[in-house]
C-alpha cells in the first residue's frame, strides 16, 4: 500500500480493482497524471472520467449532494456513479463539457483504504484502450497497457467482477434525474 501511495503522490498511474471492473487511476487533483491517463487510454480529451471517493465527507467536500442522490446511494444494490453539477476543487480536465463530474462512493474495502490513505479522490476509468472491451478481471487487461502504467496492484487479480460497470445517474441540484446507464 505504501508503494502505491508514493506512486500516486508523485503523479503516477495505477491499474487497480474497483467495486466493478479493473480501472486505471491516478490522484484526481493532479492534472499531469490525468493527462497521462488520457494518453495511455488513447482517449479523447473531451470525454470526462469519473472519480471514486471513500466517504460521505469527501463526497460533500467536492459537490453539493442533492437529497435524491443520498436516497439512490442508500437504495442501490449495484455500484452507482452519480453525475453532479458544480464540483469544487477538481481540475477541469476531469469535467464533462457542462462542468459536471461523475463520482462513485465506493463500498469496496481495498478502494476505500487506498483513497483514505491517499487522502484525495481517485480517477477511475476502465483499464482498456478507448473502444475496447472493459476488463472484468486482471488477465483481460492488455499487456501493452500494463506496460504503460507505473504500477499494477496485486490485490484481487484472480477475481472476476460481477458488474461490467456501475449504473450512471445524473442528478441536478433541483433533484431532476436522468439514468445515463443502467
Q: Which segments of the chain have a pLDDT < 70?
A: none
pLDDT value of position 48: 87
pLDDT value of position 162: 86
pLDDT value of position 54: 97
pLDDT value of position 147: 96
CB atoms near residue 58 (< 10 Å): 18
pLDDT value of position 74: 93
Q: Which residues contact 94 (CB under 8 A, 6 or more apart)?
A: 28, 34, 48, 49, 51, 101, 123
Backbone angles phi, psi at 162, to 5 degrees: -90, -5
pLDDT value of position 89: 93
Closest CA to 28 of 96, 86, 91: 91
pLDDT value of position 163: 85
pLDDT value of position 47: 86
Residue ranges of alpha helices (H) inside 76-168 are 109-118, 143-148
pLDDT tens-digit profile of 133-161?
999 999 999 999 999 999 999 989 999 98
* 29's grid cell: 487533483
Closest CA to 69 of 60, 78, 53, 82: 82
What gap in Å lies between CA 68 and CA 66, rounded to an integer? 5
pLDDT value of position 114: 96
pLDDT value of position 40: 96
CB atoms near residue 13 (< 10 Å): 23
Amino acid at each position: 500500500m505504501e508503494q502505491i501511495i508514493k506512486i500516486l503522490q508523485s503523479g503516477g498511474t495505477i491499474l487497480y480493482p474497483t467495486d466493478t471492473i479493473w480501472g486505471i487511476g491516478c490522484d484526481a487533483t493532479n492534472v499531469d497524471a490525468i493527462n497521462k491517463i488520457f494518453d495511455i487510454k488513447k482517449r479523447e480529451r473531451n470525454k470526462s472520467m469519473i472519480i471514486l471517493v471513500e466517504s460521505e465527507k469527501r463526497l460533500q467536500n467536492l459537490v453539493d449532494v442533492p437529497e435524491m442522490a443520498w436516497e439512490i446511494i442508500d437504495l442501490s444494490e449495484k455500484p452507482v456513479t452519480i453525475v453532479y453539477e458544480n464540483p469544487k476543487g477538481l481540475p477541469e480536465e476531469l469535467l464533462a463539457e457542462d462542468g459536471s463530474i461523475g463520482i462513485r462512493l465506493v463500498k469496496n474495502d481495498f478502494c476505500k483504504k487506498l483513497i483514505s490513505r491517499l487522502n484525495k479522490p481517485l480517477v477511475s476509468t476502465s483499464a482498456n484502450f478507448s473502444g475496447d472491451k472493459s476488463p472484468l478481471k486482471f488477465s483481460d487487461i492488455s499487456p501493452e497497457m500494463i506496460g504503460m502504467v507505473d504500477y499494477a496492484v496485486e490485490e484481487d487479480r484472480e477475481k472476476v467482477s460481477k458488474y461490467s460497470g456501475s449504473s450512471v445517474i445524473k442528478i441536478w441540484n433541483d433533484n431532476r434525474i436522468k439514468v445515463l446507464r443502467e
